[in-house]
Structure 1
């Protein structure tokens, strides 16, 4: 079936099909979610276990190592890492990319259930978090209050949280620094001892009295009635008067031995926004929902919420991702429109005819609208990569139509009727354009099978670009001939002077090119030597091109994290953060808003969204105005701020970066270069760390250098005399449990008092647990129920512990990491390797390099394989297309000079080889061969009509020069706006545009001469016969 004939014979049916595509596409656009990046479900699980009151070493030994040992058997597990901090264990499980992360979570949950009873009794049950791109908060809100601050927990749980959670698409709303109330029972140990009681007695009695116990059912007449024994504790008075014992025939009440008061629960997490103490609310979305619409709904709902909260409650915005998404998509959309306008202008300039230009221009919306139908059908989002596919395909969608239309016009001008010319003109070019489209698609196919972040990020781009190209092929073979049969006519009226002048110019260009080909065919050696000399020069120049992983994205954020001396209270850390915020605001004029998050959450929730945690840690975030409104990008601003921080003596460590929260999710807070040290001799490891870090500082090209925490956080250890304790009826378990309860207190669950749901904590009065001598006088109960003084079985020794303990592969890890400045990732890695080699490390210390450089290496290996597979697929398609093994080889001579063009473009613009640009090189394989296909196919066609080889080469070049130039220029001009863009998000797409433009321009110029020459060389025997 001849599809072109069918479309020409049924113009109304053809028109209806394309109008239907247009309508469905427009409907799809309105319902598509928008985001910066494609939805990504990372093959990562985070297991968080809260162990209140435990030191990092206790967390490591009691929780982390135990869980790691069993979780290591989880199917498809690739790696296991952990961080043990005070009160919390965070274990990260890394799986293979093709793993089903939900199944992995279930497997991990089942495995942990087996050893649940082996965990310390005070440790909470581990909970599992899946990591995906939806975890990046849509918006973070700051809520501040004066008089209402103490009651904010009630406001949050009963007003704010329910109203935000009911918004369609909202996944989770979680607060940080939320002031929760609790009932504190402070026991006087002296009074308690006087009545012959212990803290454990009070704990047991309180738990028994607060329980509501079902007592079965009772049948009364025709009814079955449930029976229960409710808690006897209904209000504060009931708790105070709770009978805990009898002494001298009198009841002893709780108030006789303890002070009771409702207080705000002490927390080690602090939030400031706009200079005010605040509560932060992080709103996360469900996967697949529109970030922009959720953000808009949240703002609208917050306006409604303000009507129901006290007047002193102020709600403001800390940061949002919607502005970044909206600005990025707006900028890239503008690039798409600008590219489309330039393409239309080029088509008009070349064709110099409104009707002809209209035929070509109409293929653009019909082809591009297909992208949105595919996005809808595949549940994709409108994001950077899906929109980049539109820009990449923009110039290519008209290529096939141009080739077909040029052939049709030539036939009409030779006297053929428009109908027949349209049918046969499209038919003649059908093989060439089909081959061109499928060679372009072929190079995309290997990218679909790549794993890791490369596959996730570029899958949408590949699928959408493929769909657009197939749509453009359909349009070229159906819509273009149908419209040509109706709109193209032989010119009868006198042509304008402009047309005649431009025609003479084009004809002169064509004849000049034909003469050049005549010279080149008879001077083949010179042409080949010149071409490959240029190629050799470009290969030599590769050494001057740097390599990177993913381009830094200026989202308008700067994140500053720091640590004070280990052991510093969170209150002091908080005050230093406030000073730093004021300092940066004073010296950086671009700041529009800022916030502070200091300390550590109970469950490590801040770690899950990219923040650093710890009592001596804080994050100060800054939001800047748009990149085009600044003289410096966010990374350059960060380097300036880095200089300011050097003068603050209280900072033990700090890091300041301009990548923002987006990079924290996509890259997992990875530094460009990380050096991992493993060994058992901690002194030698400390020495190695110092040598390497000193050398990194001395190098001058590294900053934000982070080293492991030393064992210098002060603590007290109670050294128990085991023999003496045993003789007094005490074992290690009894001692540790009772001391923990005495010093840290015991949580007794929740209780409802006077309409408030309160947590309950029982502990000794502060004055008895702040002084070592008084702690020594506290009583423990032995196995026989007798009291034993702590000081009689233990001595207090000052000691030091770690701020955090990092492990990998179930062994301790010491990691040094750094950001780089003024150098590429490849050069940074080489410098770090040299530094480590020169450090003279002990032979028992093993070194592993990690960070972005490790991910880059793996991704580049995958992309190199994709390049080779793509090249092979192109050859196979061309071999099938030409039914020859020789002609594909001729066409593939264009590929090396694509690399030449890319290298020269990189050198001129300072662009580096990254994930994005490497992918662009692969895409170019399928694009640059198209010109070769057109030349070789038409040369074969002319030879088949009886022309001699030399004449066929020259005539094919002359007649195909105009469509070759048009297709190249339209593709290039469509990408110029993308390449020169300097707006938010351009760091991602601009290098891709530079790559495509450089490769296309140079390969086209060389292809126009080299392909005909190589064709002649491959048919040298025929050429010699003709010459005789």
Structure 2
């Protein structure tokens, strides 16, 4: 292959290119956003209209049909469905795959505005909904105040919300559970009837006396003045003193006018105290981890400034993302070490192992560069998430396959045929070059169809994995045809055998350093916690294994032991030759055995439970409590307070970290968040 000859003849050029790609990969991995899952958006838009005191027939006739007729004129529409009932009308428009949804939403809004004149005049608001995975909050926090409840609302509105909105990358801050003061007018029906005043007259007079309008401009002495009529109410007493119908009757004579908190219809508490839930949403182009860290730091500063303010982070997507990516990184690192160990076990050459091992980090860095280029120059929405990192982890084994094939061909020409290191590198690569390329293209053809699957959300997920694997396979092919020949031509030179012992010590020290670094990051407490939780569960699961499962594992262990004993006694190559000769002499038995294994696999596939996403346990317990309809809100609140008090009293025994409560008429829910599994003594199972 010309690329192999170029790499051998131009070592400095190829070395600089390789180092440049590694550096670009390290820079790219810092610039690619970190997410939990790929970004997914729906291809449908829902138009919702609330219209109180209307029957389903009226909703369909007056609202649904005019909206449907107007929206039917849109282009690229796949289907239009509507539902009328429950004092609301909902029309959903599903667009064809590949439609620019940002432009489609604008067209839907225009069509709705055109149909507005056909709707009843008392329709106040028309809402448009489009589901996107990025619309989920990145951080949820419960805020409780240890003093006056009214002070909590002021702190949230005047301090917490403005300071969070000023952070870079924060698009919106949602607040749930806050109660604000309202102007309340409680009228006496008997007085209204005795004075002959209707509610319509009162509403009209309140609107007429609460105005702030522009009266135009006044020119005086060459100067121009803006004139406004300001007749808005400034105090509650002014509203109560407003004369009714131009007589001596005042609004306060017909009822009471107050500025106070309305009657509560629900309660939210954190650890038994009234709380407010704050949800933080990020901008579409912002990094989830960075924005969540900024928000967390700001909340910590606010908590330090107000001693009576209790802030608990109930959900942080950044921690989830970092934890999942850390687990995948550890799994990929362990897989790489095992792959290198297996290669050394079969090749029995430390220099050959180093050549193949060097291909893994170089290829991984080049993959990150490819992902960044796909985002910036080809409009791809790929991010570093669970799916793309899983694809990279699966591709770790594929990264070494072309390198092993190329190295074996070079090694055979160098050792068996006695060729020089450079000649063996060029000719050995040339022998297997086309086979390596064909094998890589075959692997890529399996995942390329994922790019054309766009009829569901799962296909969007698999697209990230497919892109990562295809880039990894292409990069590993280039590395095996360029970097491997260069490294082989330098490490397979005569006289370097005397350094094999030092190389083994160096590689062993490097592996031990990595293992020690991971153990140090866990610490003795972490190891003890792992042994008490995960280790205990492994032992418990093993001891509670069913007899059939234990028998299968026992037979498999005996078979592996027998194979290992034979390979050690007669050699692996001799054992494989004997097995191959036996299968060729007993072809019918081999075919029947292969068919039996395939049938067993099909039966197991049909017997295994199938579901869209795997079930994952969380360190929390949700309780939903329903009360009789005859119970008042205060009675339901008293019931929940007893439950909260009981749980908080035994918090240490049940590994309880925090308790969030939501109460409404007819019942409510309690969410108990537990301490981390490494710190707790109980499981959620």
TM bucket by the smaller chain? Answer: 0.7 to 0.9
Q: How far 1:431 sits from its partner (Å)?
A: 1.1
Query: TM-score, with normalisation over the residues of structure 1?
Result: 0.54
Tell me: CA distance 1:272–1:96, structure 2 relative to 1, closer, same or farther (3 Å): farther
Query: Residue 319 of structure 1 corresponds to which residue in structure 2?
Result: 315
Q: Contact (CA 8 Å) 2:142, 2:313: kept in 1 or not? A: yes
Query: Residue 337 of structure 1 corresponds to which residue in structure 2?
Result: 333
Find the residue that maps to 1:270 and give its secondary structure. strand
Question: Equivalences for 1:110-509 in 2 at 5 Å?
Answer: 110-116=110-116, 124-145=124-145, 148-247=148-247, 251-306=248-303, 312-377=308-373, 378=375, 379-413=381-415, 414-450=417-453, 451-490=455-494, 508-509=571-572
Q: Contact (CA 8 Å) 1:412, 1:490: kept in 2 or not? A: no
Q: Contact (CA 8 Å) 2:138, 2:280: kept in 1 or not? A: yes
Find the residue that maps to 2:238 and give its secondary structure. helix
Alignment partners' CA distance in 2, 1:296 and 1:509: 54
Q: How far 1:92 sits from its partner (Å)?
A: 6.3
Alignment partners' CA distance in 2, 1:163 and 1:47: 33
Q: Give CA deviations for 1:306-346 in whole Å, capped at 9, x if unaligned.
A: 4666x544333333333322222222221111112212222
Q: Contact (CA 8 Å) 1:97, 1:452: kept in 2 or not? A: no
Alignment partners' CA distance in 1, 2:49 and 2:674: 36
Q: How far 1:432 sits from its partner (Å)?
A: 1.1
Find the residue that maps to 2:42 and give its secondary structure. strand
Q: How far 1:65 sits from its partner (Å)?
A: 8.0
Query: Residue 673 of structure 2 corresponds to which residue in structure 1?
Result: 623
- The reply to whether residue 513 of structure 1 matches residue 576 of structure 2 is yes
Query: Residue 14 of structure 1 corresponds to which residue in structure 2?
Result: 14
Q: Contact (CA 8 Å) 1:82, 1:90: kept in 2 or not? A: yes
Q: Give CA deviations for 1:701-739 in whole Å, capped at 9, x if unaligned.
A: xxxxxxxxxxxxxxxxxxxxxxxxxxxxxxxxxxxxxxx
Q: Give CA deviations for 1:512-546 in whole Å, capped at 9, x if unaligned.
A: 43344345445544433332243234334544333
Q: How far 1:400 sits from its partner (Å)?
A: 0.4
- The reply to whether residue 594 of structure 1 matches residue 663 of structure 2 is no
Query: Residue 619 of structure 2 corresponds to which residue in structure 1?
Result: 556
Q: Contact (CA 8 Å) 1:139, 1:282: kept in 2 or not? A: yes
Alignment partners' CA distance in 1, 2:285 and 2:635: 42
Q: How far 1:78 sits from its partner (Å)?
A: 4.4
Q: Contact (CA 8 Å) 1:36, 1:383: kept in 2 or not? A: yes
Alignment partners' CA distance in 2, 1:191 and 1:241: 16
Tell me: CA distance 1:447–1:506, structure 2 relative to 1, closer, same or farther (3 Å): farther
Tell me: CA distance 1:568–1:33, structure 2 relative to 1, closer, same or farther (3 Å): farther
Q: Contact (CA 8 Å) 1:591, 1:625: kept in 2 or not? A: yes
Q: How far 1:255 sits from its partner (Å)?
A: 2.5
Q: Give CA deviations for 1:968-1011 in whole Å, capped at 9, x if unaligned.
A: xxxxxxxxxxxxxxxxxxxxxxxxxxxxxxxxxxxxxxxxxxxx
Tell me: CA distance 1:541–1:340, structure 2 relative to 1, closer, same or farther (3 Å): closer
Alignment partners' CA distance in 1, 2:474 and 2:158: 54
Q: Contact (CA 8 Å) 1:62, 1:119: kept in 2 or not? A: no
Question: Equivalences for 1:49-128 in 2 at 5 Å?
Answer: 49=49, 54=52, 58=54, 67-70=63-66, 72=68, 73=71, 76=77, 78=79, 80=81, 98-116=98-116, 124-128=124-128
Tell me: CA distance 1:416–1:299, structure 2 relative to 1, closer, same or farther (3 Å): same
Tell me: CA distance 1:316–1:123, structure 2 relative to 1, closer, same or farther (3 Å): farther
Find the residue that maps to 2:464 and give its secondary structure. helix
Structure 2 unaligned residues grouped into runs of 5+: 376-380, 505-564
Alignment partners' CA distance in 2, 1:332 and 1:218: 72
Alignment partners' CA distance in 2, 1:151 and 1:121: 41
Q: Contact (CA 8 Å) 2:144, 2:309: kept in 1 or not? A: yes
Say which is worse superposed, 188-197 or 172-181, in terms of deviation.
Answer: 188-197
Q: How far 1:464 sits from its partner (Å)?
A: 0.9
- The reply to whether residue 531 of structure 1 matches residue 594 of structure 2 is yes
Find the residue that maps to 1:398 and give its secondary structure. helix
Tell me: CA distance 1:20–1:628, structure 2 relative to 1, closer, same or farther (3 Å): same
Q: Contact (CA 8 Å) 1:285, 1:294: kept in 2 or not? A: yes
Question: Equivalences for 1:490-889 in 2 at 5 Å?
Answer: 490=494, 508-521=571-584, 523-561=586-624, 563-565=626-628, 570-578=633-641, 589-599=654-664, 615-616=665-666, 618-626=668-676, 634=684, 636=685
Q: Give CA deviations for 1:368-396 in whole Å, capped at 9, x if unaligned.
A: 11232233332532221121112101111
Find the residue that maps to 1:395 and give its secondary structure. helix
Q: How far 1:174 sits from its partner (Å)?
A: 1.3
Query: TM-score, with normalisation over the residues of structure 2?
Result: 0.79
Q: Contact (CA 8 Å) 2:80, 2:91: kept in 1 or not? A: no
Q: Contact (CA 8 Å) 1:351, 1:357: kept in 2 or not? A: yes
Alignment partners' CA distance in 2, 1:95 and 1:583: 52
Q: Give CA deviations for 1:901-951 in whole Å, capped at 9, x if unaligned.
A: xxxxxxxxxxxxxxxxxxxxxxxxxxxxxxxxxxxxxxxxxxxxxxxxxxx
Alignment partners' CA distance in 2, 1:339 and 1:462: 20
Find the residue that maps to 1:208 and give its secondary structure. helix
Q: Contact (CA 8 Å) 1:8, 1:481: kept in 2 or not? A: yes
Alignment partners' CA distance in 1, 2:413 and 2:165: 66
Tell me: CA distance 1:23–1:425, structure 2 relative to 1, closer, same or farther (3 Å): same
Query: Residue 643 of structure 1 corresponds to which residue in structure 2?
Result: none
Tell me: CA distance 1:485–1:337, structure 2 relative to 1, closer, same or farther (3 Å): same
Q: Contact (CA 8 Å) 1:397, 1:469: kept in 2 or not? A: yes
Q: Contact (CA 8 Å) 2:655, 2:675: kept in 1 or not? A: yes
Query: Residue 677 of structure 1 corresponds to which residue in structure 2?
Result: none
Q: Give CA deviations for 1:421-467 in whole Å, capped at 9, x if unaligned.
A: 10111111111111111111111012222221211211111101111
Q: Contact (CA 8 Å) 2:63, 2:120: kept in 1 or not? A: no
Aligned length: 607
Structure 1 unaligned residues grouped into runs of 5+: 600-614, 637-1028
Alignment partners' CA distance in 1, 2:123 and 2:146: 35
Q: Give CA deviations for 1:577-609 in whole Å, capped at 9, x if unaligned.
A: 55555677769824422312344xxxxxxxxxx
Tell me: CA distance 1:307–1:534, structure 2 relative to 1, closer, same or farther (3 Å): closer
Tell me: CA distance 1:202–1:356, structure 2 relative to 1, closer, same or farther (3 Å): same
Q: How far 1:126 sits from its partner (Å)?
A: 2.2
Find the residue that maps to 1:446 and give its secondary structure. helix
Alignment partners' CA distance in 2, 1:231 and 1:308: 41
Find the residue that maps to 2:617 and give its secondary structure. coil
Find the residue that maps to 2:571 and give its secondary structure. helix
Q: Contact (CA 8 Å) 2:402, 2:480: kept in 1 or not? A: yes
Q: How far 1:156 sits from its partner (Å)?
A: 3.0
Tell me: CA distance 1:431–1:578, structure 2 relative to 1, closer, same or farther (3 Å): farther
Find the residue that maps to 2:245 and give its secondary structure. strand
Tell me: CA distance 1:523–1:537, structure 2 relative to 1, closer, same or farther (3 Å): same
Alignment partners' CA distance in 2, 1:216 and 1:128: 37
Q: How far 1:213 sits from its partner (Å)?
A: 0.8
